[in-house]
Amino acid sequence: MTSGEKLTLLSAKFIQQQMDSTLVTKGSGFDIVGDIHGHADALERLLARLGYTDSGDGYSHPSRQIIFVGDFIDRGPQQSEALAIARNMCSKGSALAVLGNHEFNAIGWATSDGNGGFLRPHTSKNQTQHRAFLDQLKEGSTAYRSAIDWFRTLPVYLDLNGLRIVHACWHQQSLDLLRPHLDPQNCFTKAGFLAANARGSAASTAAEIVLKGPEVALPPNVSFFDKDGHERRETRIKWWDGAATTFRLAAIGVDPDVLPDTPIGSDYAYGASKPVFFGHYWLRGTPVLTSPDAACLDFSVARAGYLTAYRWTGEINLNAENLVAVPAAPG
């Protein structure tokens, strides 16, 4: 049995234990951590604030577990260290994790398309986005291959007793479309990953929504430049915000003054009976609770923001007092 298969079995066993649970006991629960992006120092400070200690074989808590929402890599200066902390916690059962779009992209970068290229094309743009990971783990090295193997063991989502975890968007229709392409632990099968990278396919569209967020076309003659300087004619939307019903209110990363109050519809609105936690959206400023039932935990640690967690102990309606955050740099 390979190390990757062992990790898969350990993760599957722990996930099933949590899904079979019918009660979150007083003082126990999950601490859900937002996008890390190679900032191991901030992760260690956050774990300490949450009461996790390292006894020499990885961080753990006597009555709680971490859940990582994905995006461990790219951007930051300590990618190997951040991965080591997270992988160790997952392997010993003190953490769970889901796949982020950066891990999805990393697998695609490393996977042949069968025609002399790769599932994620090695373009200059893609290489720039992925450069920190490739440089720090030394593309092709044993450590690099081991990281890619671990990414393959990460589920696309977790639907646990009382809460849900996904990287970018809980959209039931897209999750249902992906179901035939996932194994019983919600990880991509080999064929499923190929399908999710077949541009224009239903599986690829569904994977984009779940891992990168839903996008809607902007009005004619409206565009903007994203944080990486790329021109966009579509925008991601605040699917978690029930009041974000127009372009002006719902668009992310766009000056609202250039957008109309045209309705965008409610195809992606979240209305389930249990809360969902996610990352991905590079929110800025002091961490706040985005919704009583849908909490974004990405507050831009890789842009001098905060690494943020939510301490969940069984509540249906989320409480801002349960947010815990540390700044990217100690102060």
Position 20 pLDDT exceeds 50: no
Max mean pLDDT among 191-205, 215-229, 243-257 falls in: 191-205
* pTM for the predicted model, two decimal places: 0.89
Name 73's Cβ contacts closer than 8 Å, sequence gap at least 6.
Answer: 37, 38, 79, 82, 83, 102, 103, 106, 132, 133, 147
3-state SS, residue 323: strand
Query: What confidence score (pLDDT) does residue 263 get?
Result: 86
The secondary structure of 155-208 as a DSSP string is: -SEEEETTEEEESS---HHHHHHHGGGB-TTSPBPHHHHHHHTSTTSHHHHHHH
The H or E element containing residue 18 is helix 3-20
When pLDDT is averaged across residues 1-13 and rounded to a whole number, the result is 45
More confident site: 256 or 36: 36
More confident site: 45 or 244: 45
When pLDDT is averaged across residues 273-281 and rounded to a whole number, the result is 96
In Å, how far are 36, 79, 124, 226, 246 from 74, measured between CA atoms? 9, 7, 15, 17, 32
Burial (0-12, 13-18, 19+ Cβ within 10 Å), 196? buried
Q: What are the pLDDT digits (tens) for 68-102?
A: 999 999 999 999 999 999 999 999 999 999 999 99
Query: What confidence score (pLDDT) does residue 284 get?
Result: 93
Confidence of residue 27 (pLDDT cuts 50, 70, 90): low
Least confident of 70-79, 266-275, 295-304, 306-315: 266-275
Provide the Cα torsion 311, 313, 315, 318; round to 10°: 0
CA nearest neighbour of 24 among 155, 157, 160: 160
3-17+29-101+110-168+275-327 has which fold? Purple Acid Phosphatase; chain A, domain 2 (3.60.21)
Q: What are the pLDDT digits (tens) for 157-193?
A: 999 999 999 999 999 999 999 999 999 999 999 999 9
Query: What confidence score (pLDDT) does residue 242 get?
Result: 87
Query: What confidence score (pLDDT) does residue 3 get?
Result: 46
CB 256 within 8 A of CB 248: yes
Position 130 pLDDT exceeds 80: yes
CB 151 within 8 A of CB 106: yes
